[in-house]
Homo-oligomer: A and B are copies of this chain.
Amino acid sequence: MKYVYSFVEGNKDMKEILGGKGANLAEMTNLGLPVPQGFTITTIACQNYYESAGRIKADIVNEIILNIKKLETNTGKTFGQGKNPLLLSIRSGSPISMPGMMDTILNLGMNEEVANSLIDLTQNPKFVYDSYRRFIMMFSEVVKGFPRDIFESRLEEYKVARNVQKDIDLSAEDLQSLTKDYLKIYEALNKKPFPTDPTRQLLEAVSAVFRSWNNERAIYYRKINNIPNNLGTAVNVQEMVYGNIGTNSGSGVAFTRNPSTGENELYGEYLMNAQGEDVVAGIRTPSPIQNLQIQMPNVYQEFQIYAKRLEMHYKEMQDMEFTIENGKLYLLQTRNGKRAPKAALKIAVDMKEEGLISETEALMKLNPLDLEHILHPNFASIDKLPIAKGLAASPGAAVGNIFFSAKDVILAQNSGLSPILVRMETSPEDIEGMNHARGILTIRGGVTSHAAVVARGMGICCICGCEEIEINIDKKELYLKNGTILREGDLLSLDGNTGNVYLGELPLAENKENLELEKFLTWADSNASIKVHANADTEKDCIMAKKLGAKGIGLCRTEHMFFETNRIFSFRKMILAKTMPERVKYLNELLPFQREDFYKLFKIMTPNSVVIRYLDPPLHEFLPKNEEEKNTLAQALNISKQELEIRIDSLKEFNPMMGHRGCRLAVTYPEIAIMQTKAIMEAVILLNQENKTISPEIMIPLTSDQKEFDYVKKMIEDTANKIMTDHHVKIDYKIGTMIELPRACILADQIATTAEFFSFGTNDLTQLTYGFSRDDSPKFLKEYQNREILEIDPFKTIDQKGVGSLMKVAVEIARQERPNISLGICGEHAGDPESIAFCDEIGLDYVSCSPYRIPIARLAAAQSKIKQSQKKI
């Protein structure tokens, strides 16, 4: 087993054992770039360290010493001794970049003797003691864990005494004296003197890096990012080059492109006469990289060439560290640079157009979720602390006045305000108000609660489950933890990307049309196999869906149509009617509205497909909750309020999710499905009169059995046939079903004998497969994630092992029965990249998500296909 690789032995594909930093140092070395020589101690050595109860095995020590010897030979220096002493930089580097770990020790190998040799060699005692004191401080902090500020404050004392601002203004004598002080401080804290033996220094540093793999911050980071705990970190040991050796030296960091805007220009900063840590520490203000062009034009030009070369080599924007030692440029690190979502998009598009990368490579450069930031408004800057934090339920940013009811929100919006709706939770009767709000804030509920789902569908910023806040709806007051009371109309700013709530007004960034995005998504479409449809219930939704690239409507939920002010009343009367003729009467009042709804939708969407789901939620969701509405309704029905309440009560259910809903409504109240069928058919006839047409797809929800499906299908067909006969027309339509019960998956072949299409309703399927109520589970699911029992939130990403297995079975047996059956998915998972990839793999034809998720889905669809074809190769 080989535990140590010199840079010439490695390459960029060896990240797993060399870590990211080590692999790239090796790659640059082999590209012939000026990298200080060195070697990498592998992650396997780190794993071995943990297996050996925190000791570095003798053969690993030997390998390290062997590599030091090689380094001495190659550099002509001797490690920690002699006339030309070799000092080392020690840096950690794990396979996956992560914060929290011990980072860097510079100038290792230093001691009194070395210092004297270096003074002899450089005639620069100031540089030497500057390096020495830095080493002691870093070693103390990193290896021993002594607080850095003890050292920093002693440095401050010297600066005060000498009345200087900057470290570099201290004299050589000051720094020598400071070094002595540091050694004393170390000895006092450690009860033993500072180690002078360079090899001991080295081995202690290596152990410290290994130990830092398991410090609290690193463990926490790995946990929240699902990084395995057993990877381990590598350690890079490298010859020191000195940016602090004089005014002809310096250190800097730079990107090959602008990470904020994506512009194709060098972007970065540097400090002369400084070591790398000074650039980021902010003790002096660095200069922008462009200044180097004037200050050291040759170095700048050389750097530019290296930067381009690295970008072309890695086909990715690079983030580099460099040091200039006496006018000579060294590269200390390169890695793929982090960038803002908008920059990432521009860079991907530019690189493709520059011919640097292919279309598929460009498509793989963006995380689909980053498109959210591009699509939604964001704060230009955030200059205050949040007053509360909830769940980031729907992205974007909103600034507005708070209101505590849907009705008040509508009034406020009509009078020109920007309302933010604040509720304990929302319910379907709040829909109209939600549509008028700039943002939504709820106290209860998870990222899949009603508020969250609806807000995402509408593209409105939403924060859910913000339990730090309390509200009193009746008093129209909001209570902050610190005792502050906010009242109706007060200003809040919501950040739907983070879940942060801010008091008052934050500035919103401008949101311009993004031509790059359109180009990029066109590439995505031509590289994807699974299609993207939209969930859309209104004209507004449909227009947005079309604009964002939906190929059809995969889910039009008809229930939302009944909540509008002029309809809900008839609908309520229908629900509470005692006889079928009464119900039919009230449904006839609703028919013109429903017909008009469909007509408008069809007109926008033709010739694309529109899938209409029949009434799904339990009827009691539509009934009034407040006293005033109850009174009005009782009067209209000519019954006492008490009787009304008894009737409302009799519709209540213990577990409404599994109650009288879905096609169970169509079975028990056929007149509802019949009215909806009439509305659809008559809407098509209206459209025909304008010489347009469409083939509507009728979707029956919550099917559990073929017989049940057939029962409802027949009543739809009978109604459609009658209308077609009456109007002497032939309308092309399909009848299919949601697959959202475990039983429907198991019996999908039987259902497919008569159902012409399926759409997986994975929200409900997840609830039932797991027995997790979506509304109630956030409380305990959080604890499940904390305890690492659940790796993913199954309401966010499809649980492939459980829910996914059922889907797979359903797809297989349904296609056996009806090979050309159209298979889709609608609901939350359809906008989640990982879930989209799964749907693509099991062979669904389309995903249908809320309009604002369409760009994400389009990109995810392309990436899934690209990954699959890469796997095949």
Q: How far is the CB of A842 from chain B (nearest CB, A)?
A: 15
Instruction: Indicate if A329 sits at the interface (CB-CB under 8 A).
Output: no
Query: In the bound complex, how far is the Cα of B780 from the Cα of A662, in angstroms?
Result: 12
Instruction: Indicate if A162 sits at the interface (CB-CB under 8 A).
Output: no
CB nearest neighbor in B for A702: B771
Which of A88-96, A334-342, A652-660, A857-865 touches B? A652-660
Of residues 358 to 408 in A, which have CB atoms within 8 Å of B's CB atoms?
A: none
Q: Are A777 and B656 in contact (CB under 8 A)?
A: no
Contacts of A741 in B (CB 8 A): 769-771
Contacts of A537 in B (CB 8 A): none
Contact pick for A771, options B768, B775, B805, CB 8 Å: B768
Query: In the bound complex, how far is the Cα of B746 from the Cα of A787, in angstroms?
Result: 23
Of residues 65 to 110 in A, which have CB atoms within 8 Å of B's CB atoms?
A: none
* A interface residues, how many (CB within 8 angstroms): 49
Contact pick for A667, options B667, B702, B742, B780, CB 8 Å: B780
Contacts of A780 in B (CB 8 A): 660, 664, 667-668
Instruction: Indicate if A174 sits at the interface (CB-CB under 8 A).
Output: no
Q: Are A743 and B764 in contact (CB under 8 A)?
A: no
Q: Are A667 and B747 in contact (CB under 8 A)?
A: no
Q: Are A776 and B746 in contact (CB under 8 A)?
A: no
Q: Are A658 and B708 in contact (CB under 8 A)?
A: no
Instruction: Indicate if A789 sits at the interface (CB-CB under 8 A).
Output: yes
Of residues 622 to 661 in A, which have CB atoms within 8 Å of B's CB atoms?
A: 653-660
Contacts of A500 in B (CB 8 A): none
Q: Are B654 and A654 in contact (CB under 8 A)?
A: no
Instruction: Indicate if A275 sits at the interface (CB-CB under 8 A).
Output: no
Contacts of A803 in B (CB 8 A): 743
Contact pick for A659, options B662, B668, B707, B776, CB 8 Å: B776
Q: Are B787 and A667 in contact (CB under 8 A)?
A: yes
User: Contacts A771-B702, A783-B668 hold; do A802 and B746 have CB atoms under 8 A apart?
Assistant: yes
CB nearest neighbor in B for A750: B801
Contacts of A802 in B (CB 8 A): 704-705, 742-743, 746-747
**Which residue among A654, A742, A779 has the maximum number of chain B CB atoms within 10 Å of its CB?**
A742
Instruction: Indicate if A314 sits at the interface (CB-CB under 8 A).
Output: no
Instruction: Indicate if A772 sits at the interface (CB-CB under 8 A).
Output: yes
Q: How far is the CB of A22 from chain B (nearest CB, A)?
A: 34
Contacts of A777 in B (CB 8 A): 658-660
Contacts of A740 in B (CB 8 A): 771
Q: How far is the CB of A770 from chain B (nearest CB, A)?
A: 5
User: Contacts A667-B787, A711-B787, A784-B667 hold; do A746 and B801 have CB atoms under 8 A apart?
Assistant: yes
Instruction: Indicate if A111 sits at the interface (CB-CB under 8 A).
Output: no
Query: In the bound complex, how far is the Cα of B662 from the Cα of A578, in angstroms?
Result: 40
Of residues 758 to 792 in A, which have CB atoms within 8 Å of B's CB atoms?
A: 764, 767-773, 775-777, 779-780, 783-784, 787-790
Q: How far is the CB of A656 from chain B (nearest CB, A)?
A: 7
Q: Are B743 and A773 in contact (CB under 8 A)?
A: no
Instruction: Indicate if A530 sits at the interface (CB-CB under 8 A).
Output: no
CB nearest neighbor in B for A767: B658
CB nearest neighbor in B for A703: B771
Instruction: Indicate if A4 sits at the interface (CB-CB under 8 A).
Output: no
CB nearest neighbor in B for A704: B770
Instruction: Indicate if A755 sits at the interface (CB-CB under 8 A).
Output: no
User: Contacts A787-B667, A789-B667 hold; do A773 and B805 have CB atoms under 8 A apart?
Assistant: no
Instruction: Indicate if A544 sits at the interface (CB-CB under 8 A).
Output: no
Q: How far is the CB of A771 from chain B (nearest CB, A)?
A: 5
Instruction: Indicate if A612 sits at the interface (CB-CB under 8 A).
Output: no
Of residues 653 to 704 in A, which have CB atoms within 8 Å of B's CB atoms?
A: 653-660, 662, 664, 667-668, 702, 704
Query: In the bound complex, how far is the Cα of B657 from the Cα of A653, in angstroms?
Result: 12
12 A-B residue pairs with Cβ-Cβ distance under 8 Å, sorted by A, are A654-B656, A654-B775, A662-B771, A664-B780, A704-B770, A704-B771, A704-B802, A705-B790, A708-B784, A741-B771, A742-B771, A768-B769
- A-to-B contact residues, CB < 8 Å: 653-660, 662, 664, 667-668, 702, 704-705, 707-708, 711, 740-743, 746-747, 764, 767-773, 775-777, 779-780, 783-784, 787-790, 799, 801-803, 805-806
**Apart from A668-B783, A743-B799: 17 A-B pairs, beta carbons within 8 A:** A654-B657, A655-B773, A656-B773, A658-B658, A658-B768, A658-B776, A662-B771, A668-B780, A705-B802, A707-B788, A708-B789, A741-B769, A743-B771, A743-B802, A746-B801, A746-B802, A768-B771
